[in-house]
Structure 1
């Protein structure tokens, strides 16, 4: 281990964000960061396209739009990462922060586009652009907002994000949203492919080490892809038709203002900003053994919001810092922002090559389903882990119970909102926003400790002191 470390540099150098190892080591380390985030980065584009009802099937006239969205996911993840690692003015933490397309916004995006086709993307992009600018404007104030978002609230929000997405994973494993109701939906073949991905992913995650363990989901998808290819489920017809090089198109999907989209993206921007603060703190603690400075937190939030807004102009989805890469920095011990910059350049290069997006789009939905079942389950697990830091007083249990019940209930039964105006219905049926709002409000309003008679009443039969 000592010889390995000396080949890269001294321990002090490795903890310095401004130190870049020799290219022979820096390039593989940069590619590691791309591999660790690649699947999670392109998956939201596929999910949103599927929810809107376009992009699946080689004969779909809107299929090129899916390829374009995948292309933009890579391009603007790379550009936003450069905002973080290199920075300019107040933008960027100048730390090894990897940016990627955010899962957190998916519960907001799905109700906005569900079944409406590619035309609904204009509304989505309007929300992405305005929400991104709002997100950037939070940068000077983000430190002052943290008091309102303790682990009880952030843990609940992350758990709700995962719970909102697990249904998508099951649908994909069974054959995808377009196949619902058809005889092949939920077939043994579909589930077999998804289970291969899950089993291989778990095997590498728990029985391999180093980068093989970090890349477990990617390896699982690759093995599942090989099995799907062997069974004739892979179609390469679109790869040949994809251009070898293409520039992004400003306002590719257009721009349309929607109150529901703007409010939803702005509110989720607050949650995303807090998530970024946590990632910045994780990088400085895990990689450099220190707390993040106010300047780093402010710069990271600026880069988060600006990267999202610019992505929206070109048809990309919101991006945020990627937590899995925070873990990778802690694992490798290499704090170099130069290494992450190299990874960002690879992402940008891939973003200019539509054939890369076309190859990604050949992955059968069942293969992707196996991967996202694991990924979305991990989102839920991460939320539960955050909740483990909560002091589970009866006060906090009541806040959690009410927030979860209303949020998850509205998500499961959107028909209960049929008499609510359309804009409000979109926001409430996500489940995530009402849960977050209720949790934040109750946490600020309710006293730290309930009175003795109230706690006895709530505990009821469990305490033996229930009031008559």
Structure 2
């Protein structure tokens, strides 16, 4: 339901309409609240995987910088989408943010043999972003190869791959360093994570409007307060952080690592299709129409170039945020200028290291309580997409084979020890082999393969039910 004081129904469906600033600013901040936690979480996870968050190699300054850049370049990428530069940008209210989709590929590359390091990671992000932008030239032509069976499986796999990280964080952190702590898996860690879960779910289901939209953020704040009262928050680093700082190009260096580059390029296909879906969701939910080819192409260009620019300055891949698509449908406000205001707020946050330093003080177990919900929602979104699939024997075999191989390689990475570092890192992510198997089998197997057998089974079951009713 929308507020009539914001504008007429026709104005609210117009992306170029600017609501009164008194309404536009809170609406823009609401978009930031909806995506803020999801946007900075990948940076925290990669900092841990890179060894700069905990242990002997910890580097609080580098971790704070990653958090700054996550905020700043989410804002920059969003501006590219909303304002546009020539053919780049959909000029729609699309909120960009750091993508979870790339984590199952990035984490093994950061912690496995032949690790990339942040220099190799950021170089891969730049090259992968440019490849992603290139996909904008023909993204519409490859959609046929990615039906709900494939895209739903991939999104489900992303969520399943990350759920382990959420549990490890709630227990006290991921990695051998954290597992070596006496407090790992302790009651206090799980209590603080539980507070976040309890408050998040309570606000999500028993409140409306701004409180419901920012449920995860408010849940983290509640967990943070509890952790502070329990003596688990260290505020020492906030005073040392600068008040203002500009981003540095190639702060972590430049290094070619083929595992990361190939992984980023392959995942660009998935991210591009996700963006196409989000663009369609925005135009349908906010304006009641289909997205134009120019909007789809422009959004894909912006995704890629936004990611490439982010990589240059030490940030992670960006993509459109689905939770903000739902927010537009809920508020009924289609204005791209509202999202532009949110983007400017994100850029401001990225220029102030003290904000990153405050985020850096969040205890890992508190963050774990939030990411359990977020990663579970990613898996649930994949399951929702799979509900559109016709579950005949053909599709069940495709799904079963891809899921078994993907999850199996994730759980037993040593099974590919005979391969070189690059191939092993890509395959043991689980996500890429699952995607290849699903796409390949879906293209090779006849569309109606097994339908006759399915009809016979269905008829037999129906006959048994009818006989049971007669009896």
Q: Is TM (by shorter chain) over 0.5?
A: yes
Q: Kindly indicate whether the alpha-carbon contact (under 8 Å) linking 1:53 and 1:117 is maintained by their aligned counterparts in 2.
A: no
CA distance in 2, matches of 1:93, 1:338: 13
Instruction: Please report how far the alpha carbon of residue 190 of structure 1 lies from its aligned counterpart in structure 2 after TM superposition.
Output: 0.4
Question: What is the distance in 1 between the residues matched to 2:115 and 2:403?
Answer: 32
How far 1:117 moved relative to its partner?
A: 12
Could you list the runs of 4 or more consecutive aligned residues of structure 1 that deviate by over 4 angstroms after TM superposition? 115-119, 451-459
d(CA) in 1 for partners of 2:180, 2:445: 47
Q: Does structure 1 conserve the Cα–Cα contact (< 8 Å) formed by 2:283 and 2:291? A: yes
Is 2:47 the counterpart of 1:49? yes
CA distance in 2, matches of 1:173, 1:457: 48
User: Are residue 17 (structure 1) and residue 15 (structure 2) matched?
Assistant: yes
Distance (Å, rounded) in 2 between the aligned partners of 1:119 and 1:396: 37
Partner of 1:109: 106
Over the aligned positions, Cα root-mean-square deviation in angstroms equals 2.1
Alpha-carbon distance in 1 for matches of 2:19, 2:194: 40
Cα–Cα, structure 1 residues 245 and 420, in superposed 2: closer, same or farther, change >3 Å? same
| Contact 2:392-2:454 within 8 A present in 1 as well | no
Q: In the alignment, is the contact (CA less than 8 A) between 2:109 and 2:425 conserved in 1?
A: yes
1:82 deviation in Å? 0.3
Give the TM-score taking structure 2 as reference length.
0.94
Contact 1:173 1:365 (C-alpha < 8 Å) held by counterparts: yes
Task: Note if contact 1:31-1:346 (Cα within 8 Å) is conserved in structure 2.
Answer: yes
**3-state SS of the aligned residue for 1:271?**
helix
**Corresponding residue number in structure 2 for 1:137:** 134
| 1:413 matched residue in structure 2 | 412
Query: How much does 1:180 deviate?
Result: 0.8
Within-5 A mapping of 1:112-191: 112-114=109-111, 120-177=117-174, 178-191=177-190
Q: Which residue of 2 aligns with 1:90?
A: 87
Q: Is the 8 A contact 2:51 2:57 kept in 1?
A: no
Cα deviation 1:167-222 (Å, max 9, x = unaligned) = 00000000002311332110000000001100111101111111211111111101
For structure 1, which runs of at least 5 residues remain unmatched after alignment? 464-468
| 1:75 paired residue number | 72
Q: Give the corresponding residue for 1:466.
A: none
- 1:439 corresponding residue in structure 2: 438
Residues 60-459 of structure 1 correspond to what in structure 2 (within 5 A)? 62-114=59-111, 120-177=117-174, 178-451=177-450
Deviation digits for residues 426-466 of structure 1 (CA, Å, limit 9, x no counterpart): 1000000000010000000001122579779999xx99xxx
What CA deviation, in whole Å up to 9, does each residue of 1:367-422 have, x standing for no partner? Answer: 00000000000001000000000010110000000000001100010010011111
Contact 2:73 2:347 in 1 (8 A): yes
* Cα distance between partner residues in 1 of 2:121 and 2:325: 29
Q: Secondary structure at the match of 1:100?
A: strand
Closer, same or farther in 2 for the Cα pair 1:168/1:292, shift >3 Å? Answer: same
5+ long unaligned stretches in structure 2: 463-471
Number of aligned residue pairs: 460
Distance 2:204 2:284 in 1: 24
1:453–1:291 CA distance, 2 compared to 1 (3 A) = closer
TM-score (normalised: structure 1): 0.95
Deviations 1:222-277 (A, max 9, x none): 10011001111111111000010001010011111122111100000000000000
Q: Secondary structure at the match of 1:16?
A: coil
Deviation at 1:56, TM superposition (A): 3.3
1:126 Cα deviation (Å)?
1.4
Task: Please report how far the alpha carbon of residue 6 of structure 1 lies from its aligned counterpart in structure 2 after TM superposition.
Answer: 2.3
Is the 2:392–2:451 contact (alpha carbons within 8 Å) kept by the matching residues of 1?
Answer: no
- Check conservation: 1:104, 1:272, Cα contact below 8 A: yes
Q: For structure 1, which segment, 223-232 or 173-182, has the greater mean C-alpha deviation from structure 2 after superposition? A: 173-182
Could you give the per-residue CA deviations for residues 135-192 of structure 1, whole angstroms, max 9, x where no partner exists?
Answer: 0000010000100000000000000000000000000000002311332110000000
1:160 and 1:432 in contact (8 A); partners too: yes
Asked whether the equivalents of residues 5 and 11 of structure 1 are also in contact (C-alpha less than 8 Å), the reply is: no
In structure 2, what is the Cα distance between the partners aligned to 1:235 and 1:458?
62
Judge conservation of contact 2:40–2:70 (CA < 8 Å) in 1: yes
Secondary structure (helix, strand or coil) at the match of 1:320 reads strand
Give the Cα separation in 2 of the matches to 1:268 and 1:402. Answer: 20
